[in-house]
Amino acid sequence: MWVEFSIIVAKTLIVLILVLNLAGIMGWVERKGSALIQDRIGANRASVLGFAGMGLVNTLIADPIKFLTKENFTPPYGDKFLHMLAPCLAFFPSLVTFAVIPFGDILVIGGREINLQLANINIGILYIFAIASLGVYGVVIGAWASNNKFSLLGGIRGSAQMISYEVAMGLSVMGILMVFGTLEPQAIVRAQGYLEWGWIPGWGILYQPLAFLLFFAAAVAESKRIPFDLPESESELVAGFHTEYSGGQFLMFFAGEFAEVITAAALITTLFFGGWQVPYLMREGFHFPGGGALLLPQVIVAALQVSAFLFKLVFFCWLFILIRWTLPRFRYDQVMRLGWKMLLPAALANLLGTAIWILAVGA
């Protein structure tokens, strides 16, 4: 019993540390990446004890120290309790969502099979959407509790935008659920190990390319980043819903945005890019379509799978950063039109097409 308990604690810690550190690293990569894109040097001022050589490590240490030692200012006429609660609500969903995302298949240690996923629940995908739908409260409450008109405008924009894109997001995932016939993330990833015609990896994007595009667009909108950063929109609303936040509370909004990006990238990986699947890697080793095989010990297979998941995760995180520094911000009416008049009908059409295809193939 104690072994099982410690396994759960270890998995929890691994996921928690992974997400929190990736969020920190993304804060640095975003600055460095934007500098790269804009032909600057960028983010090279952090120097710990006169040592400025390793920008990433220094930034990872300097950032939290700077944020946490600053004053947490609460606007005098705002709602103090809700003002404190909002950053927690903004940070909580993206962390909790990660509990059902499988980061590997099964690891066998000493005859004990460990499922490399924190919680395997049979409504996994629904759980993700249920929790993700709570993410909007951090924005709305934070905005309202600040007692600031810019904040309130940002919060109202945020709530309208997040609800609109949740619809398209949920409908685009339906196609994947219909193809794989399950709501369990681990089962969806396992099903993606199937090789179509014996050699093409049957990842979700192969069956649902349109759904991937729709989901990706909706995921960017849900994370409230450029080109969808209307709730923040610093050229119109100062800093939107977190105008009145400082110190550690601002850090939670700031890191929460990155945690949201990481969760979105993990979802895209899990649903459309085979999760931890490595092409041709079965449980006992590689089986190439030509007939060749390369048998590997189980630990190495598991390590390869976890690194494949991490590689895909980091790739999509980078794609999010790339998009943020490439596209300009949309106008608000454009955001709403894209969500309701383009993504939603396309998602519905995709759903209908998938249903007809499944009926026709008779799967």
Partner 1 sequence: MNVEVLGFFFLAALMVSFSLLVILVRNPVHSALALVAALFVMAILFLNLDAPMVAALQILVYAGAVMVLFLFVIMLLNPASVEPSLPVWRGVVCAACALLMLALIALLMSGPDQAEALHPSSVGAGFGSPEALGETLFNDFVLPFEIASVLLLVAIIGAVALARRVSE
Q: Which stretch binds partner 1 (CB under 8 A): 7-15, 102-110, 159-167, 265-273?
A: 159-167
3-state secondary structure of 241: helix
Q: Is there a contact between 182 and 191 (Cβ–Cβ < 8 Å)?
A: yes
Which residue's CB is nearer to partner 1, number 179 or number 302? 179
Q: Which C-beta is closer to partner 1: that of 88 or that of 130?
A: 130
> DSSP 3-state assignment of 166?
helix
Asked if 133 is part of the footprint of partner 1 (rule: CB under 8 A), the reply reads yes
Assess 123 for contact with partner 1 (CB under 8 A).
Answer: yes
Binding partner 1 by CB under 8 A: which of 14, 60, 62, 82?
82
The DSSP result for 74-125, as a single string, is --TTS-HHHHHHHHHHHHHHHHHHGGG---SSEEEETTEEEESSS---TTHH
Cβ–Cβ under 8 Å, residues 58 and 51? yes
Q: Does 154 bind partner 1 (CB under 8 A)?
A: no
Q: Which stretch binds partner 1 (CB under 8 A): 20-28, 129-137, 201-209, 243-251?
A: 129-137
Q: Alpha helices of the chain — where are they, by DSSP H?
A: 2-37, 55-69, 80-97, 124-132, 135-145, 149-180, 185-191, 204-207, 209-222, 234-237, 247-272, 298-324, 332-337, 344-361
Residue 346 tokens, joined: 């396309």
Burial of 181 (C-beta count, 10 Å sphere; 0-12/13-18/19+): exposed
* H or E stretch at 294: strand 293-295
Interacting residues with partner 1 between 161 and 200 (CB under 8 A): 162-163, 166, 183
Cβ 134 to partner 1 shortest distance, Å: 6
CB 143 to partner 1: min, Å:
8
Q: Which residues are 285's β-sheet partners?
A: 295
Query: Which one of 46, 95, 107, 152 is in contact with partner 1 (CB under 8 A)?
Result: 152
* Residues numbered 86-115 forming contacts with partner 1, rule: CB under 8 A: none
Which residue's CB is nearer to partner 1, number 153 or number 313? 153
For the CB of residue 176, give the shortest distance to partner 1 in the complex, in Å: 14
Q: How far is the CB of 2 from partner 1 (least distance, A)?
A: 20
Q: How far apart are CA 302 and CA 308, in angstroms?
A: 10
Phi, psi of 174 (to 5 degrees): -50, -40
* Contacting residue, 16, 60, 121, 282, with partner 1 by CB under 8 A: 121
C-beta closer to partner 1: residue 56 or 85? 85
Binding residues for partner 1, rule: CB under 8 A, are: 79, 82, 121-123, 126-127, 129-134, 136-137, 140-141, 143-144, 152, 155-156, 159-160, 162-163, 166, 183
